[in-house]
Amino acid sequence: RRRTVVLRRHTRATQIQSAERMRARREAFGTMRKAAVRIESVWRMVAQRRQFLRDLAEKKEEAKLSNQLAKLQAQLQAEMDARRRAEQAQEAMRAERDSVAVSGASAEGAQPPR
């Protein structure tokens, strides 16, 4: 009978030790899992930040080029308008000169000869 009591005591002690080891290992596993999730989260954050900064730099460059293009197009349009105005002024001067020359020639022809 005493042997049975000792055997039961050892069995229960073994079960308690086993349960404690299991609890400690589960706790360690939970800690490791949380750490792994945190590491993955931080790594995803770093990768996302890098991608964001690349995209931001690309957008800034695109905006800069777009502004340069708009300025050059405005400059080209201004130069084309100035050239058109200069050509119109030159054409008006040529027309005026031709009309003066024609009227001058007809005025000479209208005077009686001496």
Give 77-92 pLDDT, tens digit per residue.
999 999 999 999 999 9
pLDDT in tens, 32-91: 999 999 999 999 999 999 999 999 999 999 999 999 999 999 999 999 999 999 999 999
Report how far residue 73's alpha carbon sits from residue 59's, in angstroms, rounded to the nearest whole number. 21
Say yes or no to pLDDT of 16 above 60.
Answer: yes
**Which token pair is 41?**
């989260």
Q: What average pLDDT does the structure give for the chain?
A: 93
* Token code pair at residue 17: 């030790």
> Is the sign of the CA dihedral 36, 42, 46, 47 positive or negative?
positive
Tokens representing 50 are: 């890098």
Calculate mean pLDDT across residues 97-109. 74
Question: 57-86: string of b/e by CB count within 10 Å (b at 16+)?
Answer: eeeeeeeeeeeeeeeeeeeeeeeeeeeeee
At residue 50, what is the residue type? R
The model's pTM is: 0.55
Question: Coil, strand, or helix at residue 113?
Answer: coil
